[in-house]
Amino acid sequence: MIQPKSVRPTLLLLMASTISSGQTGFHNGSTLGKISVPTTSSTPSFLSPTYVGVDTPQKARTNDVQTTEGGHRQKLAPRLAKVGGIFTSSGYQTPFQQQVDTINSLSNRTVTIQPESVVLQRHTPLEIVDAVCGKLRDADALLLSGGSTDKWVWQFVAMVAGYLHLPVIGLHIAFPTFNANQAQDTTLLQISASLKDQTRALFDLLDSQGWHEFAILKTELPGHAEFTSYVQTYMERSDKWKLDSTITFDAANANRFSTRRVRQRLRMIKAKAVILFCSTTDASWVFNMAESIGILEDNHVWIGFQSISAGVVKFPQAPEEYPLGLILLHFREAQYTIEHALQDALAVLREGLSVYLQQNNRVASPHVNGTNECRDLASLRSLRSENAFDRFMEVFSRKNAVMQFGKDGFVEKPSFAIVSIDKRGVFDRVGSWYNGTITLERSLNEIITNQGNLLTPLPTARHFNIVTIKEDPFVFVSEKDDAICMGNAVECKQAIDGPPGHVIRCCSGFCMELLLQLAKDLHFTYEVYLVEDGKFGKLSVTGKWNGVVGDIVAEKADMAVASLTINEERYEYMDFSAPFVETGISVLVNRRKGSVSPSAFLAPLDVWSWLMIFLVCVHGMALAIFVFEFLRPRVGRARRLFAGEEEYKFTVFSAIWLMWGMLFGGAVPADNPKGTTSKMTASVWAFFGLIFIASYTAKLTAFMILEEKRETITGMNDPKFQNPTGSSPPFRFGTVPDGSTEKNIKRNYGSHMLDYMNQFNNDSPKSAAEALKHRELDAFIYDAAVLDWVAGKDPDCSLVTIGEGKIFAATGYGIGFPKRSVLKKEFDLEILRYRANGFLDELKAEWLRGICHQNSQVDARSDPLDVENLAGAFYLLATAIGLSLLVLAVEHVYYRSIRPALLSRRIDCNGACSLISTGIHKSLDVGMGEGNGLDSHESLYEDMCEDCNNTSPEDRNQIAMSETVTSDIALTLSRSPTQEALPMGDYHTEPPGEGGGGVEKDEDDGEGFVSPSGRVMTSA
């Protein structure tokens, strides 16, 4: 006979639970594997009425046989696999032994399991390593039990198992928080559903019941961050989900202040559905607090995961503090416990090892040399095939596998049982979820209501006929697409000519979203239709109302939900609820782009400042610098200039030119003063110019911006309204007829105003806005709430209400009822509650505000400067060109008329003209040189070049240079024999032999040259 072989396909089996020592949570006296659960057509194959591990043993897919020498096939004995358990609680040891005995009792088994267990005391990594390498060193498989707070144990075991290429099967049905893909080289499989699948089932349940608004109570339980992320993903996918609030608490470390804060947050919850993500102990703490503040019996539905019931000692009996009607999602079945999960894990292990070993696969057992310590993990890793786990996983990728796992390591396509606490205080199954499908055996509303202490009984169903009217943004009307109205839109009937008499549209907006919330909270159904004549309502001379008010007065509708203004006249014929929007009368005007004045560049300073700077400061400082320069101490050349023996170059005009250049920082050629006093004065002027330019530039920007133009209206009594024809052209304004605005104008401001504006009335605020922008209308009078929205949504942001939203005849919008309606009080209280909890403010922020809202900073934008902004600068440039042409004409007049007259009278400035202008001085001085025997510039040129027309350009340049030298020599010879320096130089010569001869130099530098006569000539 063939002896059993000790097969060592080392497998790490991980098991988790929240059961503490002495509190196993198992049913006393229950027979494992005989729990029968109902199944539906949507239940997967491995969810049979009995658990796969015991009652329905899987038949061996291929008998483990061996062929003898005689050709006979002989069945091999089951192979031995030692399975060790590492538990955090001793309560697992007995159930573990019982389950192994059940597996070994199967007649068709191919693997015999030998159990061994260790209970952890310190829960440290070293203790786990000692257990694996000590008492369990010969084990071929391991079982590990960890509670909800032992996430690090999962991570450590998964890390070590992945390093050693060991498959890991984890049982963590209550807290599936560790994702196998989060660890590198992990080989972790979990008999549980992932948080992603649990969240999906939760949202399918909420959606099926219409609980789209919810609140979340959670602790920092392992996986809370992933859960929050999944919730956020669902909310981003659809606008129908609304998160009321998220409350994070820590019951274990709660103090007086944290408890008070949680209690306050609980009171503020308005959502019907409250989701719990916490442990059993935390849930009890929350329910006790909710009971103490009286909200446990409020209008809430409490929903949680299996983690809430995982630690219940007497499961399925619920704790006393748990509210009746509490809804939970349980993995697989209502009473699926850790005991059943262990049974399924062993079934998975048995099937995996059977098929794996039949393919002649061997996984060598680690050799520890009989020691109690693991000295070399690297050597242990090398004993295992890196693809052993992949071959093992091939078993569970088959469609007929006992259980399938996804890439994340969790059960693929899990199912959930929906359980609720019944009147007996027991968790009872009421439905199921599988692959996105909710199957309810009983109505949840009926279940919750009948419990008696969670929700008040729902009132008898009521159905209302509701009239409304199209007016953006309170009621938008659109075509119905794909046979449904998307988002928060509701179906509404619109009358048409011919059969069938109406069509179905989709109505949305502020009022429709308010209607949806009212229907949800006050429990009624409705049918909405649009008023046939499209009017709000006006009382005719015959005493009959039309429009929306007419339908309410005639009781064609039970209520009107629209932007219906509350006023005294309507209040006599119908009732209104408390206002849900404050409004009144306002005026909408168009702000047009203005223009910049041509003198805008002068606006930063007033007239007197400009006169002071340019007439007094500039010329006064120029004159001061000239005087300081003229009176400076004179030696050398300065002495000769003062004596009139040499031309003076720094004139009054030179000083003025210097002051202008320094003031504006222009890089222009200018003569600089040489005296210390005048230089210091020029420096002070430069500092003044810096301050002036900086101040001017800072102020200039504000005056170069285009000023917007808008109608200046002070109110409804403004002369433009009371006497529109008094201006030219006449002032044009209007409103929407047959509304409260028209009635208010007639009653308070006179019929003459109403008669005039009738010719400019519009059918809607939208058409009036277009008329304003096309300048067909100057102002539009209407409800302030609507006009604010029109101005905020204008693409050009060119519309604005006067006085930054100033309101006249303040009132509000309310829901209309027939006179003495019993519904008024009920709706009043609900609207007041919406105002208190901020719901109405949220609707206003969503529907009534736009990008151009007047409280925003849209106007504070920077636009590029265009030609209109710089028009004044261009005008200044043109003026300067005109003045330059005038100066040019004056110069020609001087040289053609004034200069010859002065020369004929032989007026000699005797050097004084050089103090004013060197140009005037030279023109007169050169002209008078003819009477002194000197040739003028023209005569010299004629004598030296009688035939210049026949000379080349190079010769002409030589002649011109000779002309200049000759003129300078002639001017020098006309002066004193001892003053022989040229006017542009600061050197002079002495006759040879007198005074030692040579060259004398004063304080200014110059360059000398030798004349043809051998005398030294210098030039500055």
Annotated binding site for L-glutamate: 565, 570, 740-741, 783
The Cα–Cα gap between 621 and 632 comes to: 16
Three-class SS of 925-939 = HHHHHHHHCCCCHHH
The Cα–Cα gap between 299 and 296 comes to: 8
Kindly give the pairing relationship between strand 427-434 and strand 490-495.
Answer: unpaired
Query: Is 260 strand, coil or helix?
Result: helix
Q: Which residues pair with 437 in a beta bridge?
A: 434
Annotated binding-site positions: 565, 570, 740-741, 783
Considering only CA atoms, which of 110, 74, 71 is closest in space to residue 361? Answer: 110
Considering only CA atoms, which of 316, 760, 742 is closest in space to residue 569? Answer: 742
Kindly give the pairing relationship between strand 779-783 and strand 808-813.
Answer: unpaired
The Cα–Cα gap between 675 and 683 comes to: 12
Considering only CA atoms, which of 965, 974, 882 is closest in space to residue 928? Answer: 974
Query: Is 821 strand, coil or helix?
Result: coil
Q: Which residue has the tokens 């989060």?
A: 182
The Cα–Cα gap between 515 and 513 comes to: 5
* Residue partners of 921: CB distance under 8 A and separation at least 6: 647, 909, 911, 913, 914
Query: Is 803 strand, coil or helix?
Result: helix
The Cα–Cα gap between 579 and 971 comes to: 103
Q: Which residue has the tokens 């639970």?
A: 17
Phi/psi of residue 766, nearest 5 degrees: -65, -45
Considering only CA atoms, which of 177, 50, 33 is closest in space to residue 95? Answer: 33
CA 435 to chain centre: 35
Query: Is 543 strand, coil or helix?
Result: coil
Amino acid at 650: F
Amino acid at 969: I
Q: Is the dihedral of CA 669, 671, 674, 675 positive or negative?
A: negative
The Cα–Cα gap between 77 and 79 comes to: 6
* Residue partners of 873: CB distance under 8 A and separation at least 6: 601
The Cα–Cα gap between 334 and 921 comes to: 119
The Cα–Cα gap between 119 and 89 comes to: 6
Q: Which residues pair with 475 in a beta bridge?
A: 471
Q: Which residues pair with 169 in a beta bridge?
A: 13, 189
Where does 581-675 have alpha helices with state H? 607-611, 618-630, 637-642, 652-664
The Cα–Cα gap between 438 and 441 comes to: 10
Amino acid at 493: K
123-129's contacts with Cβ under 8 Å and 24+ in sequence apart are: 123/88, 123/150, 123/153, 125/156, 128/86, 128/153, 128/156, 128/157, 129/160, 129/373, 129/374
443: tokens are 């109505």
The Cα–Cα gap between 462 and 135 comes to: 71
By the 10 Å C-beta count (0-12 exposed, 13-18 middle, 19+ buried), 665 is classed as exposed
The torsion region of residue 737 among left (phi > 0), alpha (psi -120 to 50) and beta comes to: beta
Three-class SS of 139-179 = CCEEEECCCCCCHHHHHHHHHHHHHCCCCEEEECCCCCCCC
